[in-house]
Amino acid sequence: MGALPGTGGLSTGRARWTFTADVEEFAEIVGPWLLRDPVRNTVQLTVLRGIRSGLHGYGVLMGWLSDRDPANPANPANPANPADRAGPAGPAGPVPPAPVASADTAAPAVVGAILHTAPYPLLLGDVPLTTLPALAADLIGREHEVAAVRGPVDVAEAFARAWWRPERRRRPERLYRLETLAAAPAPGKPRTASAADVPLATEWVRAFQAEAHVDVRADPAPVVSARVNRDELVWWEDDGRPVAFACVSTPISGMSRIGPVYTPPPLRGRGYAGAATHAATRKALDEGADEVLLITDLSNPVSNSLYQRLGYRPVGDYVTIDFG
């Protein structure tokens, strides 16, 4: 399926969203734009890798925003107004990115992108805020169902205001980046999961999703199996039995992300989650990651405090908004 133009546009009327279900087309056009900032685009990059590897095969929609209307490339838009630029609020405030031009100098430059692997949330990155009503209108016009949206707080909220369904619930999140890894002593030792661990790991991921109010309509088993096959799931074992786990993504352009991290309730308060996170972080560094990241639920003060003790520092705030 080739690219399909959107019907809406920027406030200037000079650019349009383009949509596709062809992951290789999306990777070729949008990949360089995502890689310009692998820290803030961490989720989009890892999801894109998952799609390319065969996960999320049904109901995938991807799209990008250009700096001018593809039907009229001589008429450039101007989404670079700082007031219109999106970005997660962090210690240094929003960071407006530079557009990434195509190798074809006549082609428009990418200035925004979306990924949607239903039933998971629509992923929004750094997108000009004034373009989000047009995006919502395009998706509504295509009768494309969006049950939730996830992105920087201002971006997700702007999309939610334009969407036709009301907000039902939100999950505030914070992106952290490793500064200097600190020790996390706990009884036991780490072990990388093998294929025989997939059933137990899947059971624990389901428990994590239920506790974190993550959408559980999608079966996590294929994702868990893929992560185990890539050696991305690290158990922490005490007395020969798993007591916690932490997942860690294989580095992309020097970026790796920790998560999810989970300890069953009866085993909490013994340092296992910190030890598992430390082991997964160490694994990422040993595999060449220059940036190790993780995303937390801001409503959980215990985990946020733990990760900061391990050496993680805030980058910016995000939110997942579920629609009614």
Q: Tell how strand 291-297 and strand 255-262 pair up.
A: parallel
Q: What is the mean pLDDT of the chain?
A: 87
pLDDT in tens, 28-44: 999 999 999 999 999 99
- Higher pLDDT: 264 or 217? It is 264
| Fold held by 177-317 | Aminopeptidase (3.40.630)
At 80 the pLDDT is 42
How confident is the model over 122-151, as a mean pLDDT? 95
pLDDT in tens, 41-98: 999 999 999 999 988 767 899 999 998 655 555 544 444 444 454 445 544 344 445 5
How confident is the model over 195-223, as a mean pLDDT? 90
- How many other CB atoms are found less than 10 A from the CB of residue 28? 12
At 11 the pLDDT is 39
Helix H segments across the chain?
23-35, 42-52, 132-141, 153-162, 198-212, 221-229, 272-286, 301-309
At 214 the pLDDT is 77
At 82 the pLDDT is 42
How confident is the model over 315-324, as a mean pLDDT? 96
By percentage, how much of the chain surpasses pLDDT 70?
82
Q: Tell me if the bond preceding 260 is cis, omega within 30° of 0.
A: yes
At 86 the pLDDT is 46
d(CA 124, CA 129): 11
d(CA 185, CA 212): 26
Nearby residues of 203 by Cβ (< 8 Å), 6 or more positions away? none
At 218 the pLDDT is 77
CA distances to 45, 130, 175 from 319, rounded to whole Å, are 18, 19, 10
209 phi/psi in degrees, rounded to 5: -60, -45
- Note the residue count of the chain: 324
